[in-house]
Amino acid sequence: MKILKQVLGVDVAQKELVVSLGRMNEDLSHEVYAKRVFQNKESGFAALAKWVKKQSSCEIVVRYVMEATGVYHQKFAYYLEENGHELSIVMPNKISNYMRSLDTKTITDLTCADAITRFGLERKLDRWKRPKDIYRNLQQLTRERDQIVDERVAVKNQLHAEKSEAMPNPNSINRLRARIRFLTKQEQEIKRDIDNCVAEDESVQEEIKILTTIPGVGNLTAAIVLAETNGFELIRNRKQLTSYAGLDVKEKQSGTSIKCKPRISKKGNKSLRKAMHMPALVAVKHNQRFKITYARLVSKNGIKMKGLVAIQRKILELMYTLFKNKTTYQSDYEEKKRASITSN
């Protein structure tokens, strides 16, 4: 029987690549017929490619499919791209949603690889492109800064606890203060590296200039969003973006017996979610449009955090819209739009 499509689903872990090889036949039936585990390093990549070549038909190109999770998939993705293999990287929420539709009672690395393979066989996926070097560098720098900020907060908490002791140790306090000064110095160095990185690319400078016209969005926030989305490369619409960030609303309701409170899924890129927190706080304090929206949401449900998350989502979606349209933020856009409709 003629083969129409071949897909290798890859479940990526820190040290292993769990793979499943599948094919679609001319009658549109599909099957997963080979599975194996390889090491997540250069020698494992070469062994995997050799195994795939042996197991698959040479007449049809094999499409590699994996999730965009963490950083452990990146080396393998670069290896495949450099060696001319077709690769698609899919948002994690798409795979998790797809797995719920399958009759899979046990979740393991192998069943996840099977699900990725079947997903690749059933869907038409875009070919992955290597991210621009500047986006990759910005991602590494912004994530490093985030780790240092978290570490500094932890040390500040330790300092507060030490100073609250009945008999605080002066040497311990001095060491904690020295660590805080050291971490602050490192954060400043990273910020300079980020500024230098952006200064090397005029197109990214223009993108950041557009995004920072939004109230509450600064240069650092814009850099984080561009880095974490690879310039919105994998994003096709606003709904997909909020899902990727984990800001989509999750609700469970069935009849009258099961009814859970709606909440955000948090199944997404936590760096994006963290980056949206401060801009939302600034926006609801200093921008009339966001302030009114926030007040309306809080008065409706009485939960301040719920209103703040909604503002985070709106700002992120607005960043995507401005980036795609190459336009700047206009505070009176809605009024102008309504006036235009009325005049027509």
pLDDT band for 74, please (50, 70, 90 cuts).
confident
Architecture category of domain 3-122 in CATH? 2-Layer Sandwich (3.30)
Contact 276, 297 (CB under 8 A): no
Mean pLDDT of the chain: 88
- Residue 181 scores a pLDDT above 60: yes
> Rounded to the nearest 5 degrees, what angle is found at the Cα of 233, between the Cα atoms of 91 and 20?
35
User: What is the residue-wise DSSP string for 48-115?
Assistant: HHHHHHHHS-TTSPEEEEEE--TTTTHHHHHHHHHTT-EEEEE-HHHHHHHHHTS---S--HHHHHHH
User: How far is Cα 18 from Cα 91, in angstroms, rounded to an integer?
Assistant: 18
Delimit the domains of the chain by residue range. 3-122, 133-200, 228-344
pTM: 0.78
171-201 b/e (C-beta count within 10 Å ≥ 16 → b): eeeeebeebbeebeeebeebbebbeebbeeb
Residue 258: per-residue pLDDT: 43
Does residue 117 register a pLDDT over 50?
A: yes
Residue 56, Cβ density class (10 Å: 0-12 exposed, 13-18 middle, ≥19 buried): buried
* Residues 293, 311 contacting (CB under 8 angstroms): yes
Q: pLDDT tens, 273-304? A: 999 999 999 999 988 889 999 999 899 888 88
Residue 113 clears pLDDT 90, i.e. is over it:
yes
Average pLDDT over residues 222-231: 93
> Is the Cβ–Cβ distance between 241 and 229 less than 8 Å?
yes
Residue-level pLDDT at 257: 43
Q: Which two tokens stand for residue 114?
A: 């099977």
Residue type, 176: L
Q: Is the pLDDT of residue 338 over 90?
A: no
- Measured distance CA(66)–CA(106) in Å, rounded: 20
333: pLDDT strictly greater than 70: no
Average pLDDT (33-54) is 95
In this structure, the number of other CB atoms found within 10 A of the CB of residue 256 comes to: 6
Is residue 340 pLDDT above 70, yes or no?
no
- Binned at pLDDT 50, 70 and 90, residue 116 comes out as very high
Of all residues in the chain, what percent are helix, strand and coil, respectively (each to 5)? 60, 15, 30
Q: Quote the percentage of the chain above a pLDDT of 70.
A: 90
- Kindly state the average pLDDT of the residues 7-23: 94
| Beta carbons within 8 Å of 99's beta carbon, 6+ residues apart | 107, 112, 115
Q: How far is CA 226 from CA 105, 123, 272, in A?
A: 38, 27, 10
Q: Residue 266's pLDDT band (boundaries 50, 70, 90)?
A: low
pLDDT value at 256 more than 60: no
Distance of CA 344 to the CA centre of its chain: 41
